Amino acid sequence: MMKKCTKAFLLSLLLVFLTISTTYATIDNLPLRKGMSGPEVEELQQILVEMGFDLSVDSIFGLETEKIIKDFQLSQGLLIDGVVGSQTLLKLKEVSESIEYVVQSGDTLSEIAEQFNVTLADIFAYNTIKSDIIYVGQTLTIPRRGVGGGLQEQVYNNTIHLVQPGDALIKIAKRYGVSIDTIKNANNLRSDLIQVGQRLVIPYLQVGPSKNFRLEKGAFIWPVNGRISSGYGNRIHPILNTRHFHGGIDIAVSTGTPVLAAAGGKVIRAGWITGFGKTVVLDHGNGVSTLYGHNSQILVKVGDMVHVGQVISKSGNTGQSTGPHLDFRIMLNEQTVNPLHYLP
């Protein structure tokens, strides 16, 4: 009788364990692919949403989830198969984990938020702080969300600054809250020298795409300063030696030159593209996008919201290229237009 009770008890424990294991199944049950469903897929989708991807959490691994996984794999240099195996999962966890940041002398919460591309609300939510007062040596948890600074609806615009006696670029940059490089690239300045009476275009800060973005003269800043080595239009391909249409402008700069976002936008491609090498593509809203090709290093990931003038990559010589330069393209509804019509 005792043996029967013991067996029944052990059987009950086993059933309970199996029920719990099924209920709390984890994403570690790999691989996950299109057509699957269940709690593992739901957990995967939650991670993607926390990373800033626009995705419905429905526990179904459909076309939407597969496309996001492929974009992520492209940005991380992984095999692009849309399947979440051990390598893809490892990268997902690595990218989505929070960062422990130790406050340095001179830091402010606003600067830290901008540095890690998160909102102040995110920092407050992840830390037991009641105000924006922080101290050197304090450890802050920074969520690695990549969703930007929460200003997506701020419209890109410019203002004009008339240089006054005593003005310097660093002083003007601080006054308007933009970087010196942003002002230099907006005005195609080759040095920090400015003159009294000079009119400078100052871009307002725009983060992320905007439905009100207008494709017009001055809508973009120059992503780098350099000589245009190849213009927009028909040309002889420098490698293939055949006549073809060049959909952008090539700007000759040395390898490692910081490449700036020509306008605020959302990163929709960040990885290797055949012909272009290491490439970043930004969506600015209203059907307008920009492409930055042949980079040596990419500093953003798919889903990031970037502001005008933010360094998104470093120039290089990857892909089909005869020397270090930036291939810069502006597209309206995926059709290229002449960048010189819209740059300062």
What CATH number did the domain enclosing 249 receive?
Answer: 2.70.70.10
Domain that holds residue 132: 99-142
pLDDT at 25: 41
Answer yes or no: do 161 and 248 share one domain.
yes
Average pLDDT of span 184-207: 80
Same domain, yes or no, for 200 and 124? no
Assigned domain for 210 exists:
yes
Domains in the chain, number: 3
- 147 — pLDDT class (breaks 50, 70, 90): very low
Quick: pLDDT tens for 283-336. 999 899 999 999 999 999 999 988 888 889 999 999 888 889 999 999 999 899
Specify the pLDDT at position 240: 60
Same domain, 74 and 107: no
Read off the pLDDT of each residue in 18-35 and give the average, rounded to a whole number: 62
pLDDT surpasses 50 at 154: no
Decide if pLDDT at 3 tops 90: no
pLDDT at residue number 15: 45
Is residue 279 over pLDDT 70?
Answer: yes
Q: Are 69 and 62 in contact (CB under 8 A)?
A: no
pLDDT of 212-241, one tens digit each? 787 877 788 889 988 888 889 886 766 666
**Range from 27-36, 47-56, 167-176, 251-260 that averages highest in pLDDT:** 251-260
d(C-alpha 38, C-alpha 45), whole Å: 11
Tell me, what's the pLDDT at 178? 75
The whole-number pLDDT of residue 22 equals: 34
Residues 103 and 178 in one domain: no
Judge whether residue 18 has pLDDT over 50.
Answer: no
pLDDT surpassing 50 at residue 36: yes
Q: What is the model's pLDDT at position 17? A: 40
CATH number at residue 39: 1.10.101.10
